[in-house]
Every structure is written in C-alpha cells, then in structure tokens.
Homo-oligomer: A and B are copies of this chain.
C-alpha cells in the first residue's frame, strides 16, 4: 500500500473538495473524517461539537485510528476537520502513518468562503482570530503547506499531487522529510542520522536520471567527505564525471570562481542532461546552485549540506548567488534544488566555531517559530558551546527538522519573496549582512546574524513593538550557545552605510523584520535615515 495522504487545515481551506479531486487523480479512495464520525455517532458532528466537544474529540480520535488501520488495506486520501490536527496526539499519529499536507487559507479568505457556503459556526465566534493563530502553529507541523488564497482549485490539487508523488519517490525516507510544495519544482528536505546516501539522490531524480554528475565542494569538506560522496553516488549507479573543488570561504563566492566552474564542467563533458551535487556549506551551495541555474541555461542540482547553517537555512529555498565588491549576493538566481539531504554524521567534523555560528540562524528560527522551538534550541546549548568538534546529539535532528519545516512552509507559499511572507526569513539579516560584509572575513555568516538579531530587538523596541525584556532574553540565549552578542562595537559608520546598499532596500525605505514576541514577527517599512538612532543601546535612550 502507498502511504495515506492526510489533508489538514482551517475551515474553508478546501480540504474535502481538494482531497476528492486529488484522490481521483491519484487513483485512491477518498475518506472525509467528519463523514466517518457522523456514521459512528448517527448525528452530524457539528451538533455534538456544540453539545459536548470532548466527546466529539474522542469520537474523532477513534475514527482517525480506524482510518489509519484501513490505510494498510486501501490507498487513501483523507480530509480531516479543522480541529483534528490540533487535538493532542492526532497530528503525530498522522505524521507517522503517512504524508500530511496543510492547505492554508488567510482568515479573511476563510470568512469570505464560509459566508458564501452556508453557516460555519466557529467563524462567527469572537475569539476566532486567536483560534486561527493557534491553529496555524499546529498546521505548520505538516510535511508540506499549500497556499489556497487566490489560487485556482485545479492548481491547488496539482500541488497536492506533486507532494504525494515526491514522497512516493523517496520511499522509506518520505515521512521524516519536509516538502516545498512548488508544483513541478516540488522537492523534499530529508534529515537523518545515516551517512551520505547516493540511492536517495538517485530516487529524487525519478525517471529523469542525469547523464553525468559533477560534485562541487570545497577543499576542507572535500578532504573529509569527497571520496565518500563520490563512492555513495557511484554505488547508486550514478556517473560522477568530475569533482570541482573551490577554496573554502566566502571569497570563493565570486564571479571569477563562477566562471572557472563553468569551464571545468564543460571540460568534464557535462551536457544539458547532466546534474550537479553541491557538497558543502553555504558558500558551496550558493555557488553550486548558481552554476547549475545557468550552465547550458539550467541543469538540476542536489544539495548535500555539510554545515548546520546550510542544513537549516541556505540550502533550502532556491536562492543562489555570488558577491560583488559592493555587497553580498548581488548577483544570483532563484533555482530550486531537486533534493536537500541532511545527514547528521557529516556534522561531526564541523569545526567548533562553525557549529556555534550556526546557532545564529537557529535562534532566528526559534524567534520566528515560537516558544517550543526556542526551548528545543536551548536544550542544545551544551553541545553548541563545547570547545571542540564532536558528534551531534540526537535532539539536533528534531531542531533541524523544525527549522527546515518552517523554511519549507514559508518558501512554499512565497517562493520569490513577492508576498512579503518570505521576507520574514530576513530576520536579523539586514544589519547582519552589513556587519558580515564590513568584517571582511573576520566573522562568519551565523556570527553576524546573531548580532543582527540583537539589532532586530533594538529596532523593534525603538518602534514600540516589543518590551525591554526581549533583548536581554535574546542576548542571554546567544551567549549560552557561545555567540558574541555585543552589538555596539560593530555599529561603525561603514556598517550603517552598507545597510543602505542592501538589496532589500526599495528606494530610501527599508523593509525591516521586527519582533513582537517569540513566534510573532512582522515586516515594517522604516526610513534608512532612522536606523542609526534606532540601533543605539536601549539604556542610552
């Protein structure tokens, strides 16, 4: 049997209609969980919810258990009620049994749809805003999120089907993955404690197996993992025609290296049917992705991230690029990979400084995602701060999966940063990038982002969006994982000037990601000219 496909989401997201259409296309049976409950109860679920919600939730859990049991006999698509995933244990059971896709809908749109489709009791309630916000945190734990606002029903169905197919291709690895639901560019981020797995890469290509592969890596990573990577790919029957090695470090993110790599790939006989595997951290990933996006006008890329930052951030979402003298990432493309496969054992050789720096991005996700992720990140502080390299604790897998799932969720709904949502991921980056750039190699990316998060706390406070407990809480967390949180020495005139050429600037206004509290960040437009005074230490105001 194929794993069951569960659709979760808020009322009026379209779970039943989309599920029914997807089931037809996939050749599966469709089950509406509310219909199952109604059969069990002999009355419509809405009536029992109104009279005795706990009893309804028990009936729902029982129906869910039965459907999961049925899924060992039939191929199923299952639509659930809006609250099913929120009831303790249900979401975990669905995630363990099959692939869970959240259909998302804005509250305004849900209200519009409900108004035109007959009474939906809960949407009339006064506390629905709060309910909606709570539910969103739950839905975000799905394997994939598919937006439905302003998107034709057929297209929503097509995206759901694409996720189901991507999961089918992955076989046993399907359930531990997060998926970016991007239609014909849908792909998975897998996280596991196994070594580099060539068969997983081969599966991700499906029937379009590449004629040849080139590995792009750097000299450090290549020394540790290059031979194993080549072996793993060849063991899976893939033809590794070439390994291209760049010097480790940000200086390799140049148009000169970009040009040299193209020459190497042509020399190695790669053609339009070939593909690239990027084996390394953010620099390798950005460069390998950019080269893949333009080599013979674009060939596929798979990312094998070897740093914690790459696993949780830079390898996911398709942003590629190189730097110019004037700033970072000023040249690049959007080019989604075919797969991002995170294998924890490669982190054992990660230098202690890189590991610490990664917590800059991990704290960013904790601020975006809320208290649960914050606590899970805090639990890793001892490992983060230890002075030498060493194997990752078991708990890391969950934190990587949370970060990857959050990023997949955002990018799946705003791939090209057009709707503002993806811009949330720039939390800490506007000032962080400028600090990194001005430091000229003295800071690594995550260290600069850590300082950028402190900057975000200050600006958010100056704008009156948050209270004065946020900055101390963030700096304490950063320091517990061994990161420098002392922003002031970095606020040089050069840094402030560099924020002005950041590509996120539109005209003379800056779009800044501000923090209200953990799990509640938002975009604000502010004047570039206000930045210096907003960044002054709170005590100095």
Residue-by-residue, is A309-352 near B (CB-CB < 8 Å gives 1, otherwise 0)? 00000000001110011110111111000000000000000000
A296, B154: Cβ atoms under 8 Å?
no
8 Å CB interface, A240-258 against B: 255-256, 258
User: A298 an interface residue at 8 Å Cβ cutoff?
Assistant: yes
A266, B327: Cβ atoms under 8 Å?
yes
Q: Which residues of B contact A332 (CB under 8 A)?
A: 294, 296-297
Smallest CB separation, A286 vs chain B (Å): 11
User: A152 an interface residue at 8 Å Cβ cutoff?
Assistant: yes
A503, B154: Cβ atoms under 8 Å?
no
Residue-by-residue, is A274-299 near B (CB-CB < 8 Å gives 1, otherwise 0)? 00000000000000001001111110
User: A267 an interface residue at 8 Å Cβ cutoff?
Assistant: yes
A263, B158: Cβ atoms under 8 Å?
no
User: A393 an interface residue at 8 Å Cβ cutoff?
Assistant: no
Q: Which residues of B contact A262 (CB under 8 A)?
A: 255, 324, 330-331
User: A473 an interface residue at 8 Å Cβ cutoff?
Assistant: no
8 Å CB interface, A387-435 against B: none
Smallest CB separation, A357 vs chain B (Å): 24
Smallest CB separation, A414 vs chain B (Å): 14
Q: Which of A481-489, A504-512, A529-537 contacts B (4 or more CB under 8 A)?
A: A504-512
Q: Which residues of B contact A376 (CB under 8 A)?
A: none
> Which of A152, A158, A319, A505 is the most central at the interface, judged by chain B CB atoms within 10 Å of its CB?
A152
A334, B295: Cβ atoms under 8 Å?
no
- The answer for the CA separation of A504 and B297 in the assembled complex, in Å, is 11
Q: CB within 8 A of A333: which of B293, B503, B505?
A: B293
> Which of A255, A329, A331, A501 is the most central at the interface, judged by chain B CB atoms within 10 Å of its CB?
A331
Q: CB within 8 A of A154: which of B155, B255, B259, B327?
A: B155
A211, B506: Cβ atoms under 8 Å?
yes
Residues of A at the B interface (CB closer than 8 Å) are 152-155, 158, 211, 255-256, 258-259, 262-263, 266-267, 271-273, 290, 293-298, 319-321, 324-327, 329-334, 501, 503-507
Q: Which residues of B contact A331 (CB under 8 A)?
A: 262, 294-296
With A152-B158, A297-B333 known, 16 other A-B pairs at CB within 8 A are: A152-B154, A154-B154, A154-B155, A155-B155, A255-B258, A259-B259, A263-B326, A266-B324, A267-B326, A271-B505, A272-B503, A295-B331, A296-B330, A297-B320, A298-B333, A333-B333
- The answer for the CA separation of A15 and B437 in the assembled complex, in Å, is 56
Copies assembled? 2
B152, A325: Cβ atoms under 8 Å?
no
- The answer for the CA separation of A263 and B501 in the assembled complex, in Å, is 12
B507, A271: Cβ atoms under 8 Å?
yes
B266, A259: Cβ atoms under 8 Å?
no
> Which of A211, A297, A503 is the most central at the interface, judged by chain B CB atoms within 10 Å of its CB?
A297
B334, A298: Cβ atoms under 8 Å?
yes
14 contacts between A and B (CB under 8 A): A255-B255, A262-B324, A263-B324, A263-B326, A266-B324, A266-B326, A271-B505, A273-B506, A293-B333, A294-B333, A296-B330, A296-B332, A296-B503, A297-B319
Smallest CB separation, A419 vs chain B (Å): 13
Smallest CB separation, A160 vs chain B (Å): 13
- The answer for the CA separation of A533 and B236 in the assembled complex, in Å, is 39
Closest residue on chain B to residue A152 by CB atoms: B154
- The answer for the CA separation of A275 and B501 in the assembled complex, in Å, is 17
- The answer for the CA separation of A258 and B211 in the assembled complex, in Å, is 29
Contacts A155-B155, A334-B297 given; does A211 touch B507 at CB 8 Å: yes
